[in-house]
A = this chain, B = another copy of it.
Amino acid sequence: MMPEMTMMQSRPLDALNKARNKKVVVELKGGRMYSGVLNAFDIHINVVLDQADELENGAVKRKLGTIFLRGDNIIMISPA
């Protein structure tokens, strides 16, 4: 049995909410990676990063400022 309450205790978006205002790494389909401070997200996993960097082989390739990433390209969000 899976009472609704139990399921509500721990939802994936709660983990993103805990990461708000913290530095994260976002990996996209096709291999691109961005690091930045998680400013905002929504249920589509659209994400806004502040002080964002595009990464290549773990190094900063481009400094980008505030970026909007469309959710359907995102594979993983992890702590930086």
Q: Tally A residues with Cβ within 8 Å of B.
A: 43
In the complex, A75 Cα to B73 Cα: how many Å? 6
Chain B residues closer than 8 Å to A14, beta-carbon distance: 1-2, 40, 48
What is the count of identical protomers in the complex? 7
A61 → chain B closest CB, angstroms: 13
Q: Are B72 and A76 in contact (CB under 8 A)?
A: no
Give residues in A with beta carbon < 8 Å to B. Answer: 1-2, 6-7, 10-17, 19-20, 28-30, 32, 39-42, 45-48, 52, 64-79
Subset of 9 A-B contacts with CB under 8 Å: A2-B14, A11-B40, A11-B42, A12-B42, A12-B46, A15-B68, A45-B70, A65-B79, A66-B78
